[in-house]
Structure 1
């Protein structure tokens, strides 16, 4: 007598590069430019700090003030919400592809948790070794916590999370506009330490408090929104949602720009707000960052829809997409450059560069990231961080 065994579930593997949707990778490639711009001034030190880790306005040149105002309105607090939205979207895509292939829901939740643990490990190493403002570990914690919602939750639970996420973001914003104590020369003391060992010890504490515990509630709402965006098909099928995407892109970016303007002008020294005005401007700046993150993602989706209609992608789009496919590698690599050039324990340039000069360094770093990604694309290779993350998530042979 013969016995038959139940069919085994299909092996869990990552998505081949050729099968990836254009809009999310285009958005990831672009958001890394914003991440570079948002993080570079945090590495400046050896001068009195002003609003949101920028130097005090009276220590800045006119170009520095202009760059500060632009970045505060369109980049700071707008880049990480977009990144968080893309993490939520990616988690939804990972889950839905496997559910459609017949993988049981509990196995999919376990896979999301494995991805979360892998991101927590990668983010922890990044935070302790290079940049304590790491965000990857916070995304890992959220995947661990939200795996049941990504796979099985209804729309209502996710909407509640999105709205609830505005509360810690707004409370955080109330504080970011307040005056900085005299003598504060760096948001992250680790960047100003000349000792490599002492800097590492500072980074470990900063990462736990700033890079992990503080950031988890700040990005949770946008991760939930990314899952909702994935369920609506806005990024993987942008052609059928062009009108809505256009409205969200224009409305989101306009709201973010106007909402960030009062704090931006205060940071640039255009006016000196009262304590109440500073708190209100900070709350407005932070809350409208949600709208900016969504607006940027919708803008990338609109670009993808236009390219689909043309049937061909120009070289710059292919370059951005190459970086988007290797966004984790690019994210980690930008910290290698900034730590090597700007921190007191390495290059030390953070003590002398102005905000405008630092912004040029950020753009130059992003260009190098694009060039590296294009070279890997031409060689048919994934980024090293992506390869490692896949192995941690799916096991060897993935």
Structure 2
């Protein structure tokens, strides 16, 4: 009498089965996220477009120019694109395991809910600029649309460009928004920072539909690229990748130039123009995010087949494999190093100083990721999220970027 086969059980990806291009792209994006986030740790400053202090030094202006052209409004859509790409691969892998759609949907919903919980805790305890909560909420929405046709997804993506434009326009605003609050409630104090984190959490939850809608366009691009296996088989898509890079980067940089000139004080903008140029900066940033991902995939596609890369590319891959751990570690290190009530490196500093700290923090995450890679450890945050998502099943780890071997 034959024994009936046990039902398929979903689980995380083995390290040996992970894909090079998505991991490498996530590793690159995390450097951009560190540089984009560090400026918000400058307390009590009058700020202009892109959140840059209006009284920066020459070194600050140089850093603001580079970050404004290549990082701001480029790193986060890049990460959003990769998040959606991985979402499709999770679904594809579970389909290959013959997991029924209701069970696969439950896995995706559970993972997204826990990611939102991680984000809420991160925002409340460490950093009010958290993006994990929004990604978790985005994941809940993607469960609903991920099986739509390409045509319906394109309509959704184009429609949600309005939300992305509106969110981008906020980068044209400036001012010190907390100057009229009582001293203990201002940013730069223990109580003030805690209050701002709580207020931001409430604001993020209350404006969730708008925030998630703004993330939809890069997410749709990620889904469409995943359906064509562009990052899985980059060698088959080199002409497409080359076009995305050669067209995307010039569009991204040219779209960023006007607002960067305003942010660095090179030009003065009349009321209204700042919002318009900020919108252009954000929308061109989506093009830049696609170009950055395409550049990484182009490199991976032209690389000779063989073992995983070593050196700096290998370290970037290690970070990308542990993107959740490294992202949270950035916030822990920033919290220790930058606030006036901690080591205070941001107190009286400019963007050049905090950007230097950001690069140093990123280097620390590189070292930690390489150590974890050599130890075969997927990272503590990844391990916890996978246990909450899949149960106690043991695995060397991954986050759903390749099929699991039987």
Q: Is the 2:163–2:211 Cα contact (8 Å) retained in structure 1?
A: no
1:165 and 2:163 aligned: no
C-alpha deviation, 1:311, in angstroms: 6.0
1:357 and 2:343 aligned: no
C-alpha deviation, 1:6, in angstroms: 6.4
Q: Is the 2:77–2:285 Cα contact (8 Å) retained in structure 1?
A: yes
- Residue 189 of structure 2: SS of its match in structure 1? coil
1:36 and 2:34 aligned: yes
1:96 and 2:92 aligned: yes
Q: Find the aligned partners of 1:17 and 1:323 in 2 and give their Cα distance.
A: 13
C-alpha deviation, 1:228, in angstroms: 1.2
1:154 and 2:152 aligned: no
C-alpha deviation, 1:190, in angstroms: 7.7
C-alpha deviation, 1:360, in angstroms: 1.0
Q: TM-score, normalised by structure 2?
A: 0.91
1:321 and 2:317 aligned: yes
For residues 192-207 of structure 1, what are the structure 2 equivalents within 5 Å?
192-195=187-190, 197-207=191-201
Q: Is the 1:173–1:285 Cα contact (8 Å) retained in structure 2?
A: yes
Q: TM-score, normalised by structure 1?
A: 0.92
Alignment match, 1:263: 259
Q: In structure 2, which of residues 9, 12, 15 is the aligned counterpart of residue 11 of structure 1?
A: 9
- Residue 203 of structure 2: SS of its match in structure 1? helix
Q: Is the 1:49–1:185 Cα contact (8 Å) retained in structure 2?
A: no
Do the aligned partners of residues 353 and 289 (structure 1) sit closer, same or farther apart at CA in structure 2, a change above 3 Å counting?
same
User: CA-to-partner distance for each residue in 1:7-34, whole Å, 9 max, x for gaps?
Assistant: 4431111110110110000001110000
Do the aligned partners of residues 47 and 202 (structure 1) sit closer, same or farther apart at CA in structure 2, a change above 3 Å counting?
closer
- Residue 349 of structure 1: SS of its match in structure 2? coil
Do the aligned partners of residues 191 and 108 (structure 1) sit closer, same or farther apart at CA in structure 2, a change above 3 Å counting?
farther
Pick which of 66-75 and 27-36 moved more.
66-75
Alignment match, 1:376: 372
Alignment match, 2:115: 119
Q: Find the aligned partners of 1:182 and 1:143 in 2 and give their Cα distance.
A: 31
Q: Find the aligned partners of 2:141 and 2:364 in 1 and give their Cα distance.
A: 35
Q: Find the aligned partners of 2:159 and 2:286 in 1 and give their Cα distance.
A: 12
Alignment match, 1:144: 140
For these two proteins, the number of residue pairs brought into alignment is 390
C-alpha deviation, 1:236, in angstroms: 0.8
How large is the RMSD of aligned CA atoms in angstroms?
Answer: 2.2
Q: Is the 2:112–2:136 Cα contact (8 Å) retained in structure 1?
A: yes
Pick which of 168-177 and 364-373 moved more.
168-177
More helix by proportion, 1 or 2?
1
Pick which of 78-87 and 198-207 moved more.
198-207
C-alpha deviation, 1:110, in angstroms: 1.2
Q: Is the 1:199–1:345 Cα contact (8 Å) retained in structure 2?
A: no
C-alpha deviation, 1:173, in angstroms: 2.6
Q: Is the 1:192–1:345 Cα contact (8 Å) retained in structure 2?
A: no
Q: Find the aligned partners of 2:202 and 2:214 in 1 and give their Cα distance.
A: 15
C-alpha deviation, 1:177, in angstroms: 1.4
1:81 and 2:98 aligned: no
Query: 5+ residue gaps in structure 1?
Result: none
Q: Is the 1:123–1:134 Cα contact (8 Å) retained in structure 2?
A: yes
Alignment match, 2:232: 236
Do the aligned partners of residues 275 and 179 (structure 1) sit closer, same or farther apart at CA in structure 2, a change above 3 Å counting?
farther
Query: 5+ residue gaps in structure 2?
Result: 395-406
- Residue 348 of structure 1: SS of its match in structure 2? coil
Do the aligned partners of residues 191 and 93 (structure 1) sit closer, same or farther apart at CA in structure 2, a change above 3 Å counting?
farther
Do the aligned partners of residues 191 and 161 (structure 1) sit closer, same or farther apart at CA in structure 2, a change above 3 Å counting?
farther
Alignment match, 2:51: 53
Alignment match, 1:220: 216
1:285 and 2:284 aligned: no
Q: Find the aligned partners of 2:149 and 2:162 in 1 and give their Cα distance.
A: 22
Q: Is the 2:44–2:188 Cα contact (8 Å) retained in structure 1?
A: no
